[in-house]
A and B are shown apart, each in its own frame.
Chain A
Amino acid sequence: MRRMVRSAVVAAATFCMVGLAGCAASTPDIVSAPAKVRQVTESSHCGLTGPGLLLVTSDAQLSKYLGLPAQNLATQQLRNVDLEREFLLFVTLGKKSTSGYGVRLTSAEIHGDVLDIRAEVRSPPKDAILAQVMTSPCAVLAVEPGNWNAIRVTGIGDSPLLLRP
């Protein structure tokens, strides 16, 4: 899987270089295409305390991130993902001081050499009463490798999250 992703990156990078060399006086077209991304699960207790993106491409990696303190994830659903065909992307919100937060996938598209993922953050209503427990919300996405060399997730914070596999 690691090699597959890297191959895609190299291929994309090569394409870009060719594009630049061949079109020195013009801007290459941005190609948009649907991306094969699906949400496997989401949880308010992922145990990952930093906001960001975490790419999991192997079972050993996955095992490392399952069973973190204060975690309650649908582990079997994650283990059922064929990591040879897809990899897992944890989109994490980081620590939250109460219940009521969540994140979910809304759309995914390939723009040029970037896999653009849009996510939506769910926050508790302002006037709600909330459980006073520390939470660590995340969504876990299954992503098929494609002809892109970076993942950009928008909708999580003020600025996009960027990951170069």
Chain B
Amino acid sequence: MVVRDVLGGSVLVSVLALSGCGGGGGGDSTADDGNGTTTPQTVVAGSIGIEANTRVDQDTSDFLSFSSDPSIDSPLNSDAERQLLPSSVVLGGYVSADSGARAVGNPYDDYAMDSVDRYSIALAPGDTVRVQTFDLATTHQVRVVLRDPSTGAEISSDSTDPTTDPSNPALPKLLASITLPSDGSYTSGNYSVDIETDVNDAGPVRYVLTKMPFSQSLTLSFDWPRFEFVPSEAIVSMQTSGAQGVAALSALDASNARQLDDHHWLVQMSPRQFSGTVERQDATLNWVSALRKKSGIDRVTPNYVMHSQAVGSPQTAVNEPLYKEQWHYGLINVPASWQLAPNGASSVKVAVLDTGVFKSPSAWHPELSGNLLVLPGSDFVSEPYDNDDVNTAIFGSLGPDDIPADPGNAVGSNVFHGTHVAGTIAGDGNNDEGGTGIAFNASLIPVRVLGEGGSGSLKDLYRALDWVASNSGADIVNLSLGGLPYDQELEAKLANLKANNIIVVAAAGNDRSNVPTYPGASRSVFGVSAVDAAGNLASYSNYGDRIDLAGPGGDGSRDANFDGKADLVLSSSAILGDGGYFEPAYIGLQGTSMAAPHVSGVFALMKEAKPNLDVVNDLESWLMAGRLTNGSAGSKTPEFGYGLIDAGKAVATALENPSITVLSPTPYYVSLNSERISEIVTLNPVGASSSVTGLTVGSYPNWLSVSVNNSGANPELTFALTNPQNLDPNVPLQASVSVSYTTDQQRTLDIPVSAQVVTDEQQRNAGVHFVLLVDTTPDAKGLYQAEAQVAATVENGEYQFSFPLENGDGVQTQSEVTPGDYFLVAGTDLDNDGIICQPGEACAEYPVSGLREAIHVDQNTDLTNIRMTTGFSRPTISAATPDVLPRPDFAGYRLIPEDDFVRPLKRLSGE
């Protein structure tokens, strides 16, 4: 493809110049260059930026056919010539075990041999590289191999297979992935990844390789949206309601309107709009586009038959070091509280009234087992709700018994709610697996009150509360349950606990309502609302005057801290293993159920700091005085009550010793990159004393500098990359910096630091781009034919292009455009088949990919400052991009055929 375009294009430019010498003419569409020749008037021009982390295989078929004999394999196939990729990358690639021709007699769509692509990628244990192939009709097998970079030994491999999937033998397998094992055998560094072809299954293959945070990988789409919709129907949102809306609706070219609510109507396309020459789906989409331009319309969408809303990352990562994923602890200053309560509340007992905790045939959940205090008679679930007779030896008998184990649900799956809640309060912080709880040494008393389906009876709760008050010895009770109206007896039992100086913490509820639900709304408990990772009220959380304080509950619909993952609270649970049995695990959940145990955990640390902690005189008093939260004295809001719990502040308050002061880092975790080469960490004193002396920083690696600034109100540490330009851009860096200081005594604070050198912007490359002005309607094959075309190579991370208006002189070049309506598009043709923007190829559309709009070109057109963006991913239809329409039959944009290279002027001018 490049051969044709670059070489042929230069020849044509010469021809044009020669013919122009004798010519002149041209009127408005030309300009005299001073030598008597005319220069075509540029009417469409601009630049194309590239999405972050985009790279292209350096030996794609277009490149190969340009640079060498297509039957000779790529020079980039030796191990020494590996293409270095950044640690996060979306790469479009091409491989083929042979070379060949697609059409007889057309040398310009031949494909080249490229038997293997070799890459070097920075991987950490657990990182995954995914390779997706495209286009079933022409896809052939590729094998993805992860190799040790020094020995070349294979670590793992996976293959695509166009004919069979091992788990579904008659289905194609178009996605292959390899993961660097996280069993301790491998460390972070550069690893070799090969994309190999199979000589027995030769043929060209387009692929996209991704190595991104998992949540981002899942949200990327490499094909145009092809969602199903009901033909001839659309949902119309009118700008006005009532009679005005009806009047506006009647002006539309639609029939059979059915009102859905005040503003929304389901309308049908008039039969006369279906011409018969256009596919019904295309006609519907054209009609939707036309409706959007009508006055009085707020929004029009096809009548989709299914909307899937949630994508993101799974939070199950049993073997991962999970503390850094527990963003919810940094958010509330838990690291500072651990300096003040280093024993993790070992003397405190917390009763968790919930579904019980997970127990396998042999043991309790390993994250909890070390802290469990299982008491006789602690399963209160009565028969109508009970389901634990599936194995009486493990779970006890039907009805109340002595084993508060969670059997899971008889129907449906389970997330072991009580296990998750208990893990946040007192997950083991010393067992070198999973994450940790806040009060990591506290005694957990599981009390089972919720049975099948996570539901239970109020009478069982009554009995459990009485038992806790008199038999358990619990200091704190966590109630991540509720949904009840006011109940006098329940209120009395909660008041009894409070009278016995037992702290009760309860979830506020998830109804996004200010209607009080109990027990969270009781005056005898601390009712907790939920916040996301940025401290905003979670989208589901209840609010109102019965909220006492807030805790991290997560919000799966948000990524408020921009860590690439949904804001879910990570804690212990169990998942169904391949053997059909539940196995201990960590999962992410959201709810005020998750917010309450954060508060319980902090109260446990406080109880250790002050064993005689009083519910009324201490906790309630301090809460209202702003000494437990990020709030100020007396400040209460419906969303957060007296504020978001601050573990460091709360435990320091409980210590009641003016000499005790610790430094709390904000942020608690430093993340640097080449676009953010420094970060200031403020060390906020937590405690009554502001005297901090002898602040010194321990050793740190030479890629990092740390400086101390004591001139401000609070000490500041500036973490900076020393020479980011000299660092390997593909190797993630990690360090832990110790900070020593003296307040009442010498203390040490550890601050984790990560860094990645990102020089991405200049290095972005999506491959040779063809920029086209194409017809606005497709041909019978779904292809849009190019009327003008230029090729562009990347320069400093972007492409430049320009189209002159055809001036009537001599022959027309590929780049000259005749007046008319066009779509402006650009993209790669990695497999050299003459079509751009196929799945696996980069694509850009004007003005926005997925929302292309026709531009009119004539002598008055002046679109010379266009900016577009290209990449291998495709827009999806989502809440953020509701106007993107599906393209069920889209086949791509067809480059100008070679035999159409020089076209008679008469034909082009339409004469």
Q: CB-defined interface of B291-308 with A at 8 Å, one 1/0 digit per residue?
A: 000000000000001111
A129 touches B449 (CB 8 A): yes
Task: Look across to chain A and name the residue whose beta carbon is closest to the beta carbon of B596.
Answer: A132
A69: B residues at CB distance < 8 A:
310, 312-315, 556, 566, 568, 588
B169 neighbours in A (Cβ, 8 Å): 82, 84
Chain A residues within an 8 Å CB radius of B417: 99, 131, 133
Nearest chain A residue, comparing its CB with the CB of B311 = A68
- Which secondary structure dominates chain B's binding surface? loop
Point out the residue from B170, B218, B455, B556 that lies within 8 Å of A99, measured CB to CB: B455
Q: Is B171 an interface residue (CB 8 A)?
A: yes
The interface on chain A, measured as residues whose beta carbon lies within 8 A of the other chain's beta carbons, has a size of 61
A57 to B412, CA, bound (A): 22
CB-based contact B556/A134 at 8 Å:
yes
Could you tell me if B461 and A84 are in contact, using CB atoms closer than 8 angstroms? no
Please classify the interface of chain A as helix (H, G, I), strand (E, B), loop, or mixed, using the class held by over half of its residues: loop
Q: Which residues does chain A contribute within 8 Å of B413, judged by CB atoms?
A: 41-45, 72-74
| A127 within 8 Å of B (CB atoms) | yes
Interface assignment of B326: CB less than 8 Å from any CB of chain A: no
Contact stretch, chosen from A24-32, A46-54, A110-118? A46-54
Is A67 part of the binding interface, using a Cβ–Cβ cutoff of 8 Å?
A: yes
Which residues from chain B contact A122 at a C-beta distance below 8 Å?
411, 453
Are A129's CB and B484's CB within 8 A?
yes
Q: Is residue A124 contacting chain B, with contact meaning CB distance below 8 A?
A: yes
Distance A72 CA – B576 CA, assembled complex (angstroms): 8
Provided the pairs A73-B413, A134-B510, A137-B412 are in contact, do residues A98 and B306 lie with their beta carbons within 8 angstroms?
no
Contact of B453 among A74, A75, A102 (CB under 8 A): A102
Of residues 95 through 130 on chain A, the ones whose CB sits less than 8 Å from some CB of chain B are: 95, 97-102, 104, 122, 124-125, 127-130
Question: Knowing A99-B453, A128-B456 touch, does A83 contact B308 (C-beta < 8 A)?
Answer: no
Kindly identify which residue among A101, A129, A133 contacts B593, using a CB–CB cutoff of 8 Å. A133
Q: Tell me which residues across on chain B come within 8 A of A67, comparing CB atoms.
A: 218, 313-314, 316
Determine which of A50, A128, A134, A165 lies in contact with B589 in the assembled complex, contact meaning CB atoms within 8 Å: A134
**Which residues does chain A contribute within 8 Å of B415, judged by CB atoms?**
44-45, 70, 72, 133
- Check: A58 CB closer than 8 A to any chain B CB: yes
Cα–Cα, bound, A63→B168 (Å): 13
Contact digits for B507-519, partner A, Cβ 8 Å, 1 yes 0 no: 1111110000000
Roughly how many angstroms separate A49 CA and B520 CA in the complex, as a whole number?
25
**Segment of B475-483, B641-649, B685-693, B800-808 engaged in the interface with chain A:** B475-483
Q: Taking the complex as formed, is B900 at the interface, i.e. its CB lies under 8 A from any CB of chain A?
A: no
User: Distance in Å from the Cβ of B611 to the closest Cβ of chain A?
Assistant: 30
Known contacts A43-B413, A137-B412; A132 and B588 CB within 8 A of each other: no
Look across to chain B and name the residue whose beta carbon is closest to the beta carbon of A125: B455
- Shortest CB-to-CB span from B506 to chain A, Å, is 9
- Docked pose: A118 CA to B457 CA in angstroms: 30
The residue from A75, A102, A132 contacting B592, defined by CB atoms under 8 A apart: A132
* Assembled-state Cα–Cα distance A69/B325 (Å): 14
**How far does the Cβ of A50 sit from chain B's closest Cβ, in whole Å?**
4
- Min CB gap A135→B, angstroms: 8
The distance from the CB of A73 to the nearest CB of chain B, in whole angstroms, is 6
Min CB gap A90→B, angstroms: 9
Residues of chain A contacted by B412 (CB below 8 angstroms): 41-44, 102, 137
Q: Are A68 and B312 in contact (CB under 8 A)?
A: yes
Chain A residues with CB under 8 Å of B230's CB are 164
Q: Which of B314, B456, B589 lies in contact with A129, CB distance below 8 A?
A: B456
Asked if B540 lies at the interface with its beta carbon under 8 angstroms from chain A, I say yes
Are the CB atoms of A52 and B307 closer together than 8 Å?
A: yes
Complex contact A50–B454 (CB within 8 A): no
> In whole angstroms, what is the CA distance A152 to B290 when docked?
30
- Contact residue among B168, B172, B305, B557 (Cβ-Cβ distance under 8 Å from A164): B305
**Given the complex of chains A and B, what is the CA–CA distance between A73 and B316 in angstroms?**
12
Q: Are B454 and A130 in contact (CB under 8 A)?
A: yes
Asked if A104 and B411 sit within 8 Å, CB to CB, the answer is yes
Nearest CB in chain A: distance from B379 CB, A = 15
Residues of chain A having any CB pair with chain B under 8 Å: 1, 41-45, 47-50, 52-55, 58-60, 63-65, 67-76, 79-84, 95, 97-102, 104, 122, 124-125, 127-134, 136-137, 162-165
CB-based closest 9 A-B pairs: A99-B454, A43-B413, A84-B170, A97-B510, A67-B314, A132-B507, A133-B591, A131-B454, A69-B566
**What are 26 of the A-B contact pairs (CB < 8 Å)?**
A50-B310, A52-B307, A53-B306, A59-B173, A59-B175, A60-B132, A60-B173, A64-B311, A67-B313, A68-B311, A70-B588, A70-B589, A82-B168, A97-B591, A102-B411, A102-B453, A127-B457, A129-B461, A131-B481, A131-B593, A132-B480, A132-B592, A134-B510, A134-B591, A137-B412, A164-B305
